[in-house]
Amino acid sequence: MIDLQPSITAIENLLRDGSEASLTYAALECRLAIERICYERLRIAHDYISNDDLKKWQPKDIVNVLIQEVDRNAAATFTYFISREPVPEGASPPTVEDFEQSEYIPFGTQIGFDPGELGKLWNALANLALHISIPETRDTPVTLYGEAERIRKKVSEALEEIKRISQGTLLATGLGEEVSFDCHCGTKNKRRLGLLKNGQTVSCINPGCDESYTYLEDTLEFGRRTLAIVCRRCGSQQDVPKKKVEKLPKDKRLYFSCEGCGEEISIEWRPMQGQKTNPLVASPESTPSP
């Protein structure tokens, strides 16, 4: 759990000070706190998702991907309870009635939020406080700071939300059946079965690994995504991780040694022309008649 109290105290002190400079800094503190709230959820989800599968980087986008791919309840409010009595060892699996008869004590509460609304606050704070207005005419003054009252209102709104979220005592990565596979690099990857879609690309969670996999719903398998490169000298084939090639800038070459003969092989992106008519093959109609 992240401790939001230092941010809350700093924001309250800056609001009390109330100068234009302090309000501007308070807005920045609010934005940082919102980012911490969202990124902490990403951190604990990292056993289930790689940064390479996030695609978008605004705090709300990250949380939305977590909801779609890791845990439907990533931004929900709920409390976990734990049974006072453990299930006796060797006992038959408990029935629904057994569960209903058990006594439970609360274990922790996750406080949820609306990622869209939090994202709007994050954007509004920047628009009001971290930029000044563009002058519309020669007579419009270019100000030193944004409008103090509007900044104060938005900071107070953000502070309430940050305080509310700070009441949480638990962050969970969700429940539900897991599927796992061992990556080529040796890292064990796991995902929630209920959130996987057929044909979905899953990147290895090891940040130093370029492997990615295609999930196949029918067989519950993860197929390694590779490009088959055949050596022109010895004919041996090697499988280059597709993601390594996808990440390759257009003006760069990817070098590697042939596993068969050791010769250096390189690949690079090249534009390829596509056209319906192949101009090199003359069609009978276009052949001039004698």
Integer angstrom CA distances of residue 101 from 91, 97, 107, 243, 244: 16, 6, 18, 52, 55
Q: Does 188 bind Zn ion (CB under 5 A)?
A: no
**What are the CB-based long-range contacts (under 8 Å, 24+) for 7-16?**
7/32, 7/33, 7/36, 7/162, 8/33, 8/159, 8/162, 8/163, 8/166, 11/155, 11/158, 11/159, 11/162, 12/159, 14/155, 15/152, 15/155, 15/156, 15/159
**Residues 94/85, Cβ–Cβ less than 8 Å:** no
Task: Single out the residue of 66, 165, 204, 229 in contact with Zn ion (rule: CB under 5 A).
Answer: 204
253 closest CA partner among 265, 238, 239, 268: 268
Task: Single out the residue of 45, 118, 209, 229 in contact with Zn ion (rule: CB under 5 A).
Answer: 209
Task: Single out the residue of 132, 260, 267, 269 in contact with Zn ion (rule: CB under 5 A).
Answer: 260
Select the span of 2-10, 57-65, 169-177, 209-217 touching Zn ion (CB under 5 A). Answer: 209-217
Q: Does 52 bind Zn ion (CB under 5 A)?
A: no
* Minimum CB–partner distance for residue 171 and Zn ion (Å): 25
Task: Single out the residue of 21, 87, 185, 230 in contact with Zn ion (rule: CB under 5 A).
Answer: 185
Q: Does 229 bind Zn ion (CB under 5 A)?
A: no
Q: Does 170 bind Zn ion (CB under 5 A)?
A: no
Q: Does 187 bind Zn ion (CB under 5 A)?
A: yes
Q: Which is nearer to Zn ion, 155 or 265 (CB)?
A: 265
Q: Does 265 bind Zn ion (CB under 5 A)?
A: no
Q: List residues binding Zn ion (CB under 5 A).
A: 183, 185, 187, 204, 206, 209, 211, 231, 233-234, 258, 260-261, 263
